[in-house]
Every structure is written in C-alpha cells, then in structure tokens.
C-alpha cells in the first residue's frame, strides 16, 4: 500500500490502527469478503444477488437502494453505514441487526473487520 493510502487508512480507523499495529489492507479484506459474497456483490450493476449490492456501502444511507426490496428492520431506519457502524455490525451482527444477514455470525478480530471495511471502501483493489 502506498504511504499516502496508509495514512488515509490510519486516519479512517485510528482506534483499530493503533490497537492492532499495521493499517488495514483492502487486499486482505477481500479474503474476508468471502463471508459476504454468497449474498452480496460489490458491483452496482449486479442485481441478481440475494442481498443489496455493497458498492459504495461505506457512507451509504441504510436501506437506500431503490431497486432492492428490503425486508428487515433496516427499512425506515435513518442512518449511514459509517466505518464505526459497519464495524459494530461485523463484530456482532445478531445483536446490531438481527435477521439482516442470515448465516453471517460475525468477525471476531478487529483487524479482520478493519480490513474488510477497507476493502468495501475500495473493492477494486
Ligand atoms: C446469507 C446471505 C447474506 C450474507 C452471507 C451476508 N448478507 Fe448482508 N444482507 C443480506 C440481505 C438479504 C440483506 C438485506 C436485508 C433486508 O432485506 O433488509 C443484507 C443487508 C446488508 C447490509 C445493509 C445494506 C443496505 O443497503 O443498507 C449490509 C451493510 C450488509 N448486508 C453487509 C454484509 C457483509 C459485510 C457481509 C459479510 C461479512 C454480509 N452482509 C453477509 C444477506 C446476506
């Protein structure tokens, strides 16, 4: 990762970066996306997946894709998927958003969550 991107990553995830050492890597995060790929695409044009596409999910308003028929408690909620929100969800999906992503039980390690969020910000990497 180039030095400038490294400092961006550290700026975005200060708590995680300082508690775990190395900054999260989108490359590594791609491996964790395997847990999501059965139901989610990172391609905005892909509408065949079970779940809503996750292109631009970091900073996106919850349940905001007009073409996707949201079914869970997410509907009608007014928040954006900030890195902190995503981190809380990824750590404990059953308590933060019960029923939203069936079969996903959470990523226990903070550095794995940070890497996945870094990947979601830059899925092309
Ligand atoms: C078994 C299928 C499945 C898996 C695996 C899964 N999800 Fe989901 N996810 C869904 C479905 C379905 C929804 C839409 C829920 C609804 O209808 O309200 C969703 C919704 C979401 C949303 C909200 C999107 C929005 O537009 O507000 C996020 C964020 C999300 N998932 C992230 C993830 C991530 C990250 C992973 C992997 C760590 C993951 N999901 C794994 C099925 C899944």
What Å distances lie between residue 76 and 46, 58, 72, 104, 106, CA to CA?
Answer: 24, 19, 10, 22, 24
CA distance 118 to 26: 5
How close is the Cα of 102 to the center of ligand 1, in Å?
Answer: 8
CA angle, residues 20, 123, 45, in degrees to nearest 5: 150
Helix axes 3-12, 110-121, angle to 10 degrees: 120
114-125: pLDDT as tens digits: 999 999 998 865
Contact 86, 120 (CB under 8 A): yes
31 lines ligand 1 (CB under 6 A): no
Residue with CA nearest ligand 1 atom 7 = 101
**Terminal alpha carbon distance of the chain:** 10
pLDDT digits (tens, 9 = 90+) for 22-65: 677 899 999 999 999 999 999 999 988 999 999 999 999 999 99
* Beta partners for residue 80, in sequence order: 61
Among the atoms of ligand 1, which is closest to the Cα of residue 107?
A: 38
Region 84-94: what's the mean pLDDT?
98
Residue 4 has pLDDT above 90, yes or no: no
Q: What CATH fold (topology level) applies to the domain 3-121?
A: Cytochrome Bc1 Complex; Chain D, domain 2 (1.10.760)
Q: How far is the CA of 51 from the centre of ligand 1 (A)?
A: 5
* 113 CA distance to ligand 1 middle (Å): 15
């Amino acid at each position: 990762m180039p030095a400038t991107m490294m400092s961006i990553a550290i700026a975005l995830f200060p708590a995680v970066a300082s508690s775990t050492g190395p900054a999260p890597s989108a490359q590594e995060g791609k491996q964790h996306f395997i847990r999501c790929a059965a139901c989610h695409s990172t391609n905005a044009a892909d509408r065949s997946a079970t779940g809503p596409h996750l292109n631009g999910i970091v900073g996106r308003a919850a349940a905001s894709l007009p073409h996707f028929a949201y079914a869970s408690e997410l509907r009608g909620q007014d928040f954006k998927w900030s890195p902190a929100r995503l981190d809380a969800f990824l750590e404990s999906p059953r308590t933060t958003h019960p029923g939203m992503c069936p079969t996903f039980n959470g990523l226990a390690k903070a550095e794995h969550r940070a890497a996945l969020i870094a990947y979601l910000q830059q899925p092309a990497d």
